[in-house]
Amino acid sequence: MQELDFTIAVIGAGVVGLAVAEALSRDARPILLLEKNERYGMETSSRNSEVIHAAIHYPGLPLKAALCREGNRLLYEYCENRKIPFKKTGKFIVSQDPAETEELWKIKRQAEENGVSNLVFLSRPRWKTLEPDLEARDVIFSPDSGIVDAHGLMRSLSLQAESQGVTAAFRSEVTAIRPDDGGFELEVNHGEYRAHTRILVNSAGLHADRIAALAGLDIDELGYRLHYGKGDYFFASPPPPIRHLIYPIPPSGQDSLGIHATMDLGGRVRFGPDIEYVSKIDYRVDETKAALFHASAKRYLPKLSLDALHPDMSGIRPKLRGPGEPTRDFIIGEESASGLRGFVNLIGIESPGLTAALTIARYVRDLVSPCL
């Protein structure tokens, strides 16, 4: 069997894998991008709210905060230069009572610790002018939050990577990894073909822990095992006439920002996601949640009717945090300390992975450089 030979292989063609392949291919190395699905971005990257985050949250998670903050700037710049549709809508975070207003102040202070200094409290006359249907006690405004055409972004990264010599192989699942003195031998589709690479980047999203295990790492000992965090979305028809993203105070003790209101570039308004840990990948939306979604959204949009909500989609995040466990930062690291020089893991890349994708790619490029 003929074995293909590459300098770098990237496993996973979600938005982060595409960004990594594109960044690494600028030096014109032979790069292989492997994706088990029939096209790029069919899992986490295409099942989210397409929000560009502003690094407001993430207490105790310095990597997420730093990559999101810089990624926000880079992503707007990239979209502007590449003519990818986006909109800097701004975001309202709202409280409903004095206790929640105290949480707003904590959120503002956390944002400042993250280097985000432009969150402001708005007066009631001001935010009522901007969002007449909104009801709240207090509101802080994030001017750098927005939305992006995630598919357009992935299409741009894919085309740019391939124009720079990346070989993209779809319907290509990595089923075995054998480290050797020169790098890694990859078995694809249970032996359909093999490829050899000096550098291997694991950007497999929901399956990144499995890929790490295939390379011989003890994912439980290292804390790499993933949990599936499922979130449902409902859309509103007719849509409420909102012009900004609207977020409630995040619920205490949950790894969630709460049932928030977002819109897409066509003006379609969506509510969600919630958070539910599941044992397998299943994208069916639980229609019985409509009343719970309505009760949450009605706190800040009281004119919203239950009849206006309809099941939309669901997404699943690769979470390092299990139910009831402390929050976890991204894992992005080169595994020489575990005896796998040139093997780079990206594990637990959930939100704000879309916002941070371009910055993560730069981070990986810096990790890879000493191994070349």
DSSP of 249-262, one letter per residue? PPPTTSSS--SEEE
CA torsion sign for 360, 361, 362, 366 is positive
Asked whether 112 and 56 are in contact (CB, 8 A), the reply is no
At 2 the pLDDT is 60
Look up residue 181 and give its DSSP letter: T
Max distance between CA atoms of the chain, in angstroms, equals 72
Collapsed DSSP state (helix, strand, coil) of residue 7: strand
Tell me the angle at which helices 353-368 and 62-82 cross, rounded to the nearest 10 degrees. 100
> Rounded distance, CA 186 to CA 331, Å?
22
pLDDT in tens, the chain (372 residues): 567 899 999 999 999 999 999 999 998 789 999 999 999 999 999 999 999 999 999 999 999 999 999 999 999 999 999 999 999 999 999 999 999 999 999 999 999 999 999 999 999 999 999 999 999 999 999 999 999 999 999 999 999 999 999 999 999 999 999 999 889 999 999 999 999 999 999 999 999 999 999 999 999 999 999 999 999 999 999 999 999 999 999 887 666 778 999 999 999 999 999 999 999 999 999 999 999 999 999 999 999 999 999 999 999 999 999 998 999 999 999 999 999 999 999 999 999 999 999 999 999 999 999 888
Classify each residue of 338-361 as buried b or exposed e, where b means 16 or more C-beta atoms within 10 Å of its C-beta: bebebbbbbbbbbbbbbbbbbbbb
Name the 3-class secondary structure at 126: helix
What token pair was written down for 314?
A: 């669901």
Report d(CA 202, CA 345) in Å as an integer: 5
Placement of tokens 């509103």 in the chain: 236
Cβ partners under 8 Å of residue 347, min gap 6: 202, 208, 209, 212, 224, 226, 318, 320, 330, 331, 332
Q: Which H/E stretch holds residue 333?
A: strand 331-335
pLDDT digits (tens, 9 = 90+) for 59-74: 999 999 999 999 999 9
Mean of all residue pLDDT scores within the chain: 95
Taking a C-beta distance cutoff of 8 angstroms, is the pair 143, 76 a contact?
no
User: What is the C-alpha separation between 18 and 358, in angstroms, rounded?
Assistant: 9
Q: What is the tens place of the pLDDT at every residue in 331-364?
A: 999 999 999 999 999 999 999 999 999 999 999 9
Contact 314, 293 (CB under 8 A): no
Q: Which helix (H) or strand (E) holds 140?
A: strand 138-142
Q: How far, in Å, are 39, 168, 186, 218 from residue 36 at the CA level?
A: 8, 11, 13, 23
Contacts of 167 (CB under 8 A, 6+ apart): 6, 30, 31, 32, 33
Tokens of 233: 């979305």
Nearest alpha carbon to residue 31 among 157, 155, 169, 159: 169
Q: What is the pLDDT of residue 253?
A: 62
What is the DSSP secondary-structure string of 183-234?
EEEEEEGGGTEEEEEEEEEE--GGGHHHHHHHTT--HHHHT---EEEEEEEE
What distances in angstroms separate CA 215 from CA 227, 290, 323, 332, 334, one per listed residue? 20, 43, 27, 16, 13
